[in-house]
């Protein structure tokens, strides 16, 4: 079954909180991207589909094949997409809209179709399952001539795998501005508003960041997402330590890997081959260093979670 009706209150809740599922945590990531639409009518901007208000909507001109495109700035495996239809009038205009997920920004119609909207009652939010389709762009388009595309809210739901760092206590050597240590484990890589969802220390000697997993795990791999906005080379030389000691802030624990470099906005995986530890720390030795982390993921031996596992795998 492709379609499922959500009660309004449930869809609102899903907009603000994430949901824990067997395979991980489901999060609406729509606001992490930047939207554009094929044309603009009135002041019904593309961004109105992401403002949390079903009373403000997007609006194209009456045109051939209108579209709305969300650039998530990174490839995600999309579990489902929700669309909220307008309440005030013309609710049948949405009929026949296609939801696409893929990587082609220029030719939006070449991206694979996840679902076709048959109809959505005025003011209602419908959810469409995309079963883990992968892509950087989410597109909604209506094929045909003299069509108007209006979207009051769009949600893009991704199931993030079971990251051991999620919800744990973070400590870092210093904090610049609002770049709190906790923002490295909030799922959001912060590519649009880095200051609100990456962590960063001050410019200092030997900066470090540490997560307390609260008990000992056998760590198989650590994934680090580097910042997109600037200076990706600041991560160069960062050491990943895993162990049970807090001596030297955990930075005397055995080293899983030393990061040589990570391109801007990229997530790199470091294999730790089952190192045991309660603490995972990142440490850059040297003077005048800044440790910025947009996401840190820690995975356990034998639990190679992927978002596809909820589709009935092992």
Ligand X SMILES: *[C@@H]1O[C@H](CO)[C@@H](O)[C@H](O)[C@H]1NC(C)=O
Report the interface residues with ligand X, using CB under 6 A.
75, 102-103, 112, 134-135, 203, 288, 290
Answer for the pair 137, 101: CB distance below 8 angstroms, yes or no: yes
What is the nearest approach in angstroms of ligand X to the Cβ of residue 32? Answer: 17
Q: Rounded to whole angstroms, how far apart are CA atoms 250 and 128?
A: 45
Question: Which residue number, 75 or 95, has a Cβ lying nearer to ligand X?
Answer: 75
Q: How many CB atoms lie within 10 A of CB 129?
A: 17
What is the nearest approach in angstroms of ligand X to the Cβ of residue 232? Answer: 13
What is the nearest approach in angstroms of ligand X to the Cβ of residue 135? Answer: 5
Question: Which residue number, 105 or 196, has a Cβ lying nearer to ligand X?
Answer: 105
Strand stretches in 177-285, DSSP E: 199-200, 208-225, 239-243, 255-258, 267-283
Question: Which residue number, 130 or 165, has a Cβ lying nearer to ligand X?
Answer: 130
Find all residues with CB under 8 Å of 17, minimum gap 6, and list them.
Answer: none
Quickly count helices (H) and strands (E) in the chain.
2, 17
What is the nearest approach in angstroms of ligand X to the Cβ of residue 136? Answer: 7
Q: Rounded to whole angstroms, how far apart are CA atoms 107 and 137?
A: 11
Question: Which residue number, 54 or 111, has a Cβ lying nearer to ligand X?
Answer: 111
What is the nearest approach in angstroms of ligand X to the Cβ of residue 231? Answer: 7
Question: Which residue number, 145 or 287, has a Cβ lying nearer to ligand X?
Answer: 287
């Amino acid at each position: 079954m492709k379609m499922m009706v959500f009660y309004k209150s449930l869809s609102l809740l899903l907009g603000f909180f994430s949901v824990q599922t067997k395979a991980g945590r489901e999060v609406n990531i729509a606001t992490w991207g930047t939207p554009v639409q094929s044309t603009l009518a009135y002041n019904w901007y593309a961004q109105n589909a992401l403002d949390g208000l079903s009373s403000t909507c997007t609006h194209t001109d009456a045109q051939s094949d209108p579209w709305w495109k969300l650039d998530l700035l990174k490839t995600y495996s999309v579990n489902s997409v929700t669309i909220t239809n307008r309440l005030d009038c013309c609710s049948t205009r949405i009929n026949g809209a296609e939801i696409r997920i893929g990587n082609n920004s220029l030719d939006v119609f070449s991206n694979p179709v996840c679902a076709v909207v048959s109809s959505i009652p005025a003011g209602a939010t419908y959810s469409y399952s995309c079963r883990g389709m992968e892509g950087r762009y989410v597109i909604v388009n209506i094929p045909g001539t003299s069509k108007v595309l209006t979207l009051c809210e769009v949600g893009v739901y991704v199931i993030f795998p079971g990251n051991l760092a999620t919800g744990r206590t973070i400590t870092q050597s210093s904090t610049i501005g609002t770049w709190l240590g906790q923002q490295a484990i909030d799922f959001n890589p912060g590519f649009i508003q880095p200051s609100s969802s990456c962590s960063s220390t001050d410019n200092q000697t030997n900066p470090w960041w540490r997560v307390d997993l609260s008990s000992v795990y056998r760590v198989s791999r650590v994934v680090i997402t580097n910042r997109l906005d600037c200076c990706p080379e600041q991560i160069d030389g960062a050491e990943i330590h895993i162990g049970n000691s807090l001596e030297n802030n955990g930075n005397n624990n055995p080293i899983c890997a030393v990061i040589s470099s990570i391109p801007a906005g990229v997530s790199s995986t470091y294999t730790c081959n089952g190192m045991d530890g309660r603490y995972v720390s990142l440490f850059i030795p040297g003077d005048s260093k800044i440790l910025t982390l947009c996401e840190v993921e820690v995975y356990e031996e034998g639990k190679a979670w992927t978002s596809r596992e909820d589709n009935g795998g092992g």
